[in-house]
Amino acid sequence: MLKRLMPKSDEFFDAFDAQCAVTVEGAKMLHALLVDYRDVAVRVQALREVEHRGDDVTHAAFNRLHKEFITPFDRAQIHTLLSRIDDVLDLTNAAAARLHYYEIETTQPDAAELARLLVLSTEKVQEVVAALRLIKKPDQILAGCKDIKRLESQTDEALRAGMGRLFKSGVDTLTIIKWKEIYDLIETATDKCNGVANVIEGVVLEHS
């Protein structure tokens, strides 16, 4: 009887998976926009709607966290994990929004490269988060976390190189300021992926 009354912890894993799915979707939309730069207002709005879907998933999971007695692992870790995955999509949306609000007329190859690395990072996050259901296989999860950290380092290097090219490009100062903010937002989104990896490493090490 007691077992039937207990909430299903699988619902948290379902929420993580749903969060990751919309986050990957948003990152791919940003990358596609920066590669094929057209219909900016429409595509930015579409990404904003994806971000709203992600918010709905996150808020529902937070509500469940406050109500349920049984959780698959520490509540604080669950809260942090949900927050950091949500941050990735928020920052992705913010970068896309700047393209529209700042009336950016043409794309930059370095922005597309940063977005490509973000897509890879979100896909790896999705893979590692899904593997949390198999927490008894820690090596697989920890290897995925290392891949996320490697991608974060690649993104840091891509940002430095991209900023160098931007400053040498001869474009006006205002354009540099606009693109620097967009680059930074994409890079910070990748940092948040690394933050997800840090949380997951803690969970795995505590339960292995």
What CATH number is associated with residue 137?
Answer: 1.20.58.220
Distance in angstroms (rounded) separating the CA atoms of residues 45 and 100: 9
* pLDDT, tens digit (0-9, with 9 covering 90-100), for 75-108: 899 999 999 999 999 999 999 999 999 999 999 9
Counting residues of the chain whose pLDDT is more than 90, the rounded percentage is 76
Q: How many domains does the chain fold into?
A: 1
Query: Nearest Cα to 151, choosing from 130, 127, 135, 131?
Result: 127
* pLDDT, tens digit (0-9, with 9 covering 90-100), for 182-207: 999 999 999 999 999 999 999 888 87
Q: What residue spans of 102-172 are helical by DSSP H?
A: 109-131, 138-168
In a domain, 77, yes or no: yes
> Which range marks the domain in which residue 28 is found?
6-207
State the residue for tokens 């597309």.
112
In a domain, 162, yes or no: yes
In a domain, 1, yes or no: no
**Above 70 in pLDDT, residue 151?**
yes
Distance in angstroms (rounded) separating the CA atoms of residues 204 and 208: 6
* pLDDT, tens digit (0-9, with 9 covering 90-100), for 2-25: 233 334 457 888 999 999 999 999
In a domain, 136, yes or no: yes
- Specify whether the backbone of 39 is left (phi greater than 0), alpha (psi in -120 to 50) or beta: left
Q: What is the pTM of this model?
A: 0.92
